[in-house]
Amino acid sequence: MPLTIANAETVDRPVWWALYTRHQHEKAVAEMLLCKGLEVFLPLHESMRRWKDRQKLLSLPLFPGYVFVQGNLSRRLQVLTTPGVHMILSRGEQIAVVPDDEILAIRRAVEGSYRIEPHPFLKCGERVRVTRGSLEGVEGILVRKKNLYRLVLSVDMLARSVGVEVDASDVEPVAGESSREALFGRAPVGEERFKEAPPPA
Residue 10 has pLDDT above 50, yes or no: no
For residues 89 and 109, membership in a common domain is answered with no
Buried b (16+ CB within 10 A) or exposed e, 137-174: ebebbbbeeeeebbbbbbbebbebbbbbebebebbebe
Q: State which of 42, 65, 98 marks the end of a domain.
A: 98
Query: What are 11-64's pLDDT values in tens digits?
Result: 567 899 999 999 999 999 999 999 999 999 999 998 888 877 888 888 999 999
Q: Residue 9 sits in which domain range?
A: 4-98
Least confident of 40-49, 117-126, 166-175: 117-126
Residue pair 177/142 in contact by the 8 Å Cβ criterion: no
Region of residue 103 (left: phi > 0; alpha: psi -120 to 50; beta: else): alpha
Main-chain dihedrals φ then ψ at residue 21, nearest 5 degrees: -115, 170
- Which of 55, 75, 98 is the endpoint of a domain? 98
Report the alpha-carbon distance of residue 127 to residue 142 in Å, rounded: 6
The per-residue pLDDT for 24 is: 93
Residues 67 and 111 in one domain: no
For residue 74, being part of any structural domain is answered with yes
Does the structure show a pLDDT above 50 at 8?
Answer: no
Residue 167 falls inside a structural domain: yes
Average pLDDT, the chain: 82
Give the model's pLDDT for residue 55: 86
Note whether 114 and 173 are same-domain residues: yes
For the chain, the domain total comes to: 2
Single-letter code of the amino acid located at 24 = Q
Question: What is the chain's alpha carbon radius of gyration, rounded to the nearest angstrom?
Answer: 19
Q: Do 92 and 11 share a domain, yes or no?
A: yes
* Residue 43 placed within a domain: yes
- pLDDT tens digits, residue range 136-155? 999 999 998 777 889 999 99
The predicted pLDDT at position 158 comes to 93
In a domain? residue 200: no
For residue 71, tell me if it sits in a domain: yes
Q: What is the pTM of this model?
A: 0.75
- The span from the CA of 195 to the CA of 177, in Å, is 18
What amino acid is encoded at 65 in this protein? Answer: G
